[in-house]
Amino acid sequence: MPDFPLVVENLSFRYRDRQETAIRNISFEAKPGEVLLIAGASGCGKTTLIRCINGLIPRSYKGDVNGRVLVFGEEVKDWKLSQISQKVGTVLQDPERQILGTKVLNEVAFGLENLNVPRGEILERVDEALRFLKIFHLRERETFTLSGGEKQKVALAGVLAMRPSILLLDEPLASLDPASARDALDTARFLADQGMTILMVEHRVEDVMRIQPERVMFMSEGEIRYLGEMSGLSKVVNYREVKLPAEQIIERAKLDPPPAEIQILPGAAGTGGALSRVEASKEEPLVRFEDVAFGYESSVEVLHGINLEIKRGDVIAVLGPNGAGKTTFVKHAIGLLKPKSGRVLVNGQDTKELSVAQIASTLGYVFQSPSHMLFAPTVREELAFGPANLKHSKEQIEKEVKAALQIVNLADKEQDPPLALSFGQQKRVSIAAILAMQSRILVMDEPTAGQDYQNYMNFMDSILQLPSFEAILFITHDVDLAVIYSNRVLMINDGRLVADGKPQDVLRDFDQLEANRLVPTSLLALNLERFDTTGRFMRAEALAHI
């Protein structure tokens, strides 16, 4: 048994405030030099398993535990967290929950300082971790100025500086642009090849397949349903639950009926269906950016001369690298930030003359991190808060809350505390909270982070068919989300708008994708190959029937 860095025996856990068991009878061992991918639907128990291994259960999350976790042959239940952290490093799904230091240098040094490592060695190990992850240039930055993806890399640097033997990665790609995700996976592969044991929880199975994980564990409803080689996964999983390569989805989907056509943004046109670009061009824009420039510090400009319009019928995907200014751009549309020069008009009014609350009736914003939004004791109260502030009637609020819960597949969680849910479920609660407000434009920052394939396809399908929305804008690192759902793609890099056009025009330029740290996917390649026949981009399940 001591030969294995990690052994889990008959492990079960139930959270104190929930009736159902989160994980049941989990048993496996992990070997040195192995990448073990853990896949499964959102809320299936993956994160709970990680918490049991790194000691957060039962120290931070209380409940009933049965079974054992052994690290290098020793049971960890009586170890202190500081003792576990020297052997087991963890990078959380939501980097906001892991970043404590105000400066990157202090953040990466935090764990080592708690272990009383000599100052000279701390600085040496911090710099080594930052250089290894190619983020040494962030060393002196304030952590609050970092993008979500940059925070994810800084969190990983803090863990690597501790030099653990076992590394737990909980949705490590969720906040990363595709090229950074590729780098992170290559880093994981390199560390495993050096002898580290890596457990990686990830929905982006297709991306992880590239580094050839030794084994994959598929979990469903708190239990292990498959544990074995990657090649056997596609035979045992529902292709709608786990995102497989497009070719594999097409082979499986051929045997099923074709998916129903969805009617995009019926609220954008009186006759039903999204407006044509010709019709939209005749209308006043919902939002207009006029030569907008902005910087968080007076000497550093983050956005440079942004000019664009958002019109009725637009479904816009905003793509670009981590730290490119995408979230800063979107925060100008909703009035959270005001331009240093230029202006933003919402319904023809300058945002400098409007409060955030006034803008909220037109633009509803879903933050990248759900922890920035969620505060209420129950999911129901969370969803009712926005509509109540907008002076909706009690009857209307009741209907809006019920409808929003149905769309995000959380009708059974109405009385649960939002912060007790999994990250993926919290993300859906934050989306539902904005859906319930019935704003005219929906703005979402990384809506699919932490979501399994089935959930994100279902709620995106539902959102795009809602009659209340006239336009939708979403920031994403998921190129396939732009392929399937957008009718317009904005590409932002270094605070500049570098591309604006139809998906089939913007996404066919692979050199431009690479220059903006985007990676072509199997679905994009298949759509471009078949575009002369289809005349539009389609999901893999629909391509199977062409």
Q: 3-state secondary structure string, 167-185?
A: EEEECCCCCCCHHHHHHHH
Rounded to whole angstroms, the Cα distance separating 285 from 314 reads 10
Q: What is the pLDDT of residue 280?
A: 54
List the domains of the chain with CATH numbers. Answer: 6-237 (3.40.50.300), 266-362+439-543 (3.40.50.300), 375-437 (no CATH)
Alpha helices in 178-264 (DSSP H): 178-193, 205-209, 233-236, 246-253
Q: Is the pLDDT of residue 276 over 60?
A: no
Is there a contact between 90 and 168 (Cβ–Cβ < 8 Å)?
Answer: yes
Mean pLDDT over residues 18-42, rounded?
Answer: 94
- Per-residue pLDDT tens digits for 173-231: 877 889 888 888 998 999 999 999 999 999 888 889 999 999 999 999 999 999 999 98
Under DSSP, is residue 103 helix (H, G, I), strand (E, B) or coil? Answer: strand
Alpha helices in 133-204 (DSSP H): 148-160, 178-193
pTM: 0.83
Q: pLDDT tier at 275 (50, 70, 90 boundaries)?
A: low
- Per-residue pLDDT tens digits for 146-155: 887 788 889 9
Q: pLDDT tier at 270 (50, 70, 90 boundaries)?
A: very low
Q: Taking every pair of C-alpha atoms in the chain, what is the biggest distance, in angstroms?
A: 72
- C-alpha distances (whole Å) from 261 to each of 83, 249, 538 are 54, 18, 10
Instruction: Count Cβ atoms below 10 Å from residue 336 Cβ, excluding itself.
Output: 15
Rounded to whole angstroms, the Cα distance separating 520 from 126 reads 33
Rounded to whole angstroms, the Cα distance separating 346 from 286 reads 6
Rounded to whole angstroms, the Cα distance separating 244 from 345 reads 42
Mean pLDDT over residues 323-330, rounded?
Answer: 92
* DSSP string over 301-358: -SEEEEEEEE-TT-EEEEE--TTSSHHHHHHHHTTSS--SEEEEEETTEEGGGS-HHH
> Hey, what are 376's tokens?
């209420």
> What is the average pLDDT value for the chain, to the nearest integer?
90
**Among residues of the chain, what percentage have pLDDT more than 70?**
97
Q: pLDDT tier at 272 (50, 70, 90 boundaries)?
A: very low
Rounded to whole angstroms, the Cα distance separating 226 from 39 reads 10
Q: pLDDT tier at 75 (50, 70, 90 boundaries)?
A: very high
> Hey, what are 174's tokens?
């969720």
Alpha helices in 342-448 (DSSP H): 356-360, 379-389, 394-407, 423-435
Q: pLDDT tier at 273 (50, 70, 90 boundaries)?
A: very low
- Per-residue pLDDT tens digits for 413-437: 999 999 888 777 888 898 899 999 9
